[in-house]
Amino acid sequence: MTIDSTFKTNQFVLLLYVVVAPNEEGMGLPLWYMLCTCDDGNKHEQLALETTLKIVFQRIRDVGLDKSNLEYNALNNVIMHDQYC
């Protein structure tokens, strides 16, 4: 499973996150999409990522990230509080 975000893909400047996983043929299939604000003051993006990752981790345990500190911090916070990690 791999997670990544795109920037400014819509008229409201919301971040679009997608998680993909390979199928039997190696093609990436989207598992979930998430739109969130990029309001740094309230940490909406990190909170949305943590909430979503908690739900994803109930079913999937392997995650790949790019070089995003925000994604790493959200994932790290989820792992630190997950009884199975």
DSSP3 helix / strand / coil % (the chain, rounded to 5): 35, 25, 40
Q: Give the percent of the chain with pLDDT over 90.
A: 0
State how many domains the chain has.
Answer: 1
On whether residue 44 sits in a domain, the answer given is yes
pTM check: above 0.85? no
- Within a domain: residue 32? yes
On whether residue 36 sits in a domain, the answer given is yes
| Pure H helices in 1-85 | 44-57, 69-80
| Residue numbers of the domain that contains 59 | 2-80
CB 80 within 8 A of CB 72: no
What is the tens place of the pLDDT at every residue in 4-33? 677 667 777 778 888 787 888 888 888 778
Q: Report which residue type is found at 53.
A: L
Q: Indicate whether 85 belongs to any domain.
A: no
pLDDT per residue as tens digits for the range 32-64: 788 887 776 777 888 888 888 777 777 766 666
Structure confidence at residue 44 (pLDDT)? 80
